């Protein structure tokens, strides 16, 4: 329900951005820390690395939500014994997993609202569209970098 409310507000142009300056590496560490129990319960290794001292000016809560959506998605589709990695170089963030990947037929639609890429299980198909909106609302981008039998990588580029 919270995701639908967020989308309704963004569609109406009524989402107030609260931009502040913060360290991206610290936000990534917080997001990864908050997902560690979920990763452990699924038997997935969750790793991070980020350049220290990268400062961005953005809505910290929204950037956190974007990262949590991407990490959660990666954890959902990574089998036990797999790995999810969050890496940031400057303000470029890559979230990678060792899952089965997204079929070529589904890749063109993954950022559509309510599209779930032929998968069953939890989720309403809103995580990726919301994550993309957050990146774009900050003047950045979110793209599928690669997805194949060895896993999937999403790349976020945020302005510094």
CATH number of domain containing 61 = 3.30.565.10
- Residue 48: CB partners within 8 Å, gap ≥ 6? 28, 29, 32, 85, 86, 87
In the prediction, which pLDDT does 138 show?
93
Domain span including residue 143: 17-157
**Global pTM value:** 0.86
Contact 18, 61 (CB under 8 A): yes
Binned at pLDDT 50, 70 and 90, residue 154 comes out as: very high
Count helices and strands (H / E) in the chain: 5, 7
Positive or negative: CA dihedral 122, 36, 155, 2: positive
Is 28 domain-assigned? yes
Is 82 domain-assigned? yes
Condensed to tens digits (0 to 9), the pLDDT of residues 38-86 reads: 999 999 999 999 999 999 999 999 999 999 999 999 999 999 999 999 9
Q: What is the mean pLDDT of residues 94-114?
A: 82
Is 65 domain-assigned? yes
| Average pLDDT, rounded, for the chain | 86
Lowest mean pLDDT of 12-16, 26-30, 129-133, name the range: 12-16
Q: Which position has the higher pLDDT, 7 or 67?
A: 67
| Number of structural domains the chain divides into | 1
């Amino acid at each position: 329900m919270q995701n639908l409310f967020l989308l309704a507000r963004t569609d109406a142009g009524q989402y107030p951005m609260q931009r502040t300056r913060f360290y991206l590496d610290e936000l990534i560490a917080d997001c990864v820390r908050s997902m560690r129990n979920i990763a452990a319960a699924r038997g997935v290794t969750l790793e991070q690395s980020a350049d220290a001292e990268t400062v961005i000016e953005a809505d910290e809560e929204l950037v956190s939500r974007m990262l949590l959506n991407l990490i959660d998605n990666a954890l959902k589709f990574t089998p036990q014994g797999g790995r999810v990695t969050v890496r940031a170089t400057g303000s470029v963030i890559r979230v990678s997993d060792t899952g089965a990947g997204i079929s070529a037929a589904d890749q063109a639609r993954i950022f559509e609202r309510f599209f779930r890429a032929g998968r069953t299980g939890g989720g309403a198909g809103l995580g990726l569209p919301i994550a993309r909106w957050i990146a774009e609302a900050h003047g950045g981008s979110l793209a599928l970098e690669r997805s194949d039998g060895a896993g999937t990588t999403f790349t976020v580029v945020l302005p510094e």
